[in-house]
Amino acid sequence: MILHYYYNIALKIRQSLNDKIKSAGIYSNIATVYTRQSKFKEALDLNFKSLKLYEQIGDSANQANILGNIGILYYNLEQNKSANEFFIKGLRIARLCHKQLIEANILIELGGIKFEQGVKNDIIVNRKELDSALLYFENANTILTEYNAIYNLAVVNNNIGRIYVQLKDYEKATQYYNQGLIYRQQMNDDYGIGLSYLNLGKISKLKKLYPNSIDFYKKAATIFLEIKSYVDLKQVYGEMSVAYEDMKDYHNAMIFHQLYAQYSDSVYTSENAKQMAEMQTKYEVDKKDLELAKNKAELEAKEKQAFIKNIIIISVVLLLLLLSGLGILFYRKKQIEQQAKLDAEIANQKEIRTKAILDAEEKERRRIASYL
């Protein structure tokens, strides 16, 4: 609750700063808390909000990561088809942006789906799918070993252990489970330790070491109850019920079966599934709306650019016309000035000629008069 409180404070601060990157990260972190508490509706809502922000800012790596998280939610709800769709989307993006650790994480999840398709009720129904699961896990293990990613190596060890359980190689399965437990303990990962205890409990039960099995289950149940991981607690109670039944302790078998049924009803209901579907639909609609808004904005920008371009062209044409008109007026003015000068010069020359003629006539009259 305290962690959730501080996350919400941080989210409000980031939203006030319009910091989409940090806001998306906080959404994802809160979603992780909700997932651990089996609050799947809230977790899915926040993951979709986070995904939307990462799409807006073009952060491909985190898009891949969030798609993987959404896939995990559907996987926990046993909706493998939806889970697979989101995992495949995430894997494609992770490979395109060369994010190998995210790729490895999604490979692990895809391996889990292949495992579910290859094994039904602890019986191998499709060996090819089981082999595919092992291949996914081995590919993930190769990447994780290169990066020394201890947490995810623990996950891979546990998953490979599960496959060897189905192959009835219990010693090898125990080896992988114990290695996974060591990694979890090194990291003080309570949730992971709980999963390892659960797996070791299953192995002990298969070996008919029932007291050991019950002991491991109790350790797992204590952890899952403390961290409010009710999906896993439900599974532990189911396994304990079967173990007590195998021991012919029907009283305890009934008690834990009732607990299993109680948590099954609270964790997954038809209403919960409906809410999850509605949340995904809302995300898809919002995504389409975002694309439409983006296309509209691009169209408006292009129209605005075209309008500005036309204004510039018209302005240039008008300027050229104005300059041409001014040029014509200037030329015409020069022509008029030149003509005026020419007319003045002609008039002056005419006046000079007229005066000369008059002077000549005057002289001629004087000359004639002198003879008389």
DSSP secondary structure letter of residue 122: T
Of the two residues 365 and 310, the one the predictor is more confident about is 310
pLDDT > 60? residue 127: yes
Q: What is the mean pLDDT of the chain?
A: 82
Q: Does some domain include residue 208?
A: yes
How many folded domains does the chain comprise?
1
Q: In this structure, what is the dihedral angle of CA atoms 260, 262, 266, 269, given to the nearest 10 degrees?
A: 80
Q: Does some domain include residue 130?
A: no
Q: According to the model, what pLDDT value does residue 34 have?
A: 81
Between the alpha carbon of residue 312 and those of residues 319, 324, 325, the distances in Å are 10, 18, 20
Can you give the CATH number for the domain in which 243 is found? 1.25.40.10
Determine which of 166-175, 197-206, 240-249, 309-318 has the lowest per-residue pLDDT on average: 309-318
Q: Write the burial class of residue 97 (CB in 10 Å: 0-12 exposed, 13-18 middle, 19+ buried).
A: middle
Instruction: Give percent of the chain with pLDDT exceeding 70.
Output: 82
Q: According to the model, what pLDDT value does residue 116 have?
A: 86
Q: According to the model, what pLDDT value does residue 2 have?
A: 56
Determine which of 66-75, 226-235, 311-320 has the lowest per-residue pLDDT on average: 311-320
SS3 of residue 85 by DSSP: helix
Of the two residues 161 and 274, the one the predictor is more confident about is 161
Q: Could you tell me the residue range of the domain that residue 216 belongs to?
A: 196-268
Q: According to the model, what pLDDT value does residue 270 have?
A: 44
**H-state helical runs in the chain:** 2-16, 20-36, 40-57, 60-76, 80-96, 100-118, 127-147, 150-166, 170-187, 190-206, 210-226, 230-246, 250-267, 270-371
Of the two residues 280 and 22, the one the predictor is more confident about is 22
Q: Does some domain include residue 38?
A: no
pLDDT > 70? residue 338: yes
Q: Does some domain include residue 357?
A: no
pLDDT > 90? residue 173: yes
Instruction: Give percent of the chain with pLDDT exceeding 90.
Output: 35
Distance CA 220, CA 159 (A): 17
Distance CA 121, CA 127 (A): 14
Q: Does some domain include residue 35?
A: no
Determine which of 158-167, 213-222, 242-251, 305-314 has the lowest per-residue pLDDT on average: 305-314
Q: Does some domain include residue 184?
A: no
pLDDT > 80? residue 114: yes
Quickly count: other Cβ atoms within 10 Å of residue 4's Cβ. Answer: 13
Q: According to the model, what pLDDT value does residue 323 have?
A: 83
pLDDT > 70? residue 95: yes
The first and second tokens of residue 248, run together, are 């012919």
pLDDT > 70? residue 3: no
Per-residue pLDDT tens for 260-301? 888 776 655 445 545 555 555 554 555 565 566 666 767 777
Q: Does some domain include residue 248?
A: yes
Q: Does some domain include residue 8?
A: no
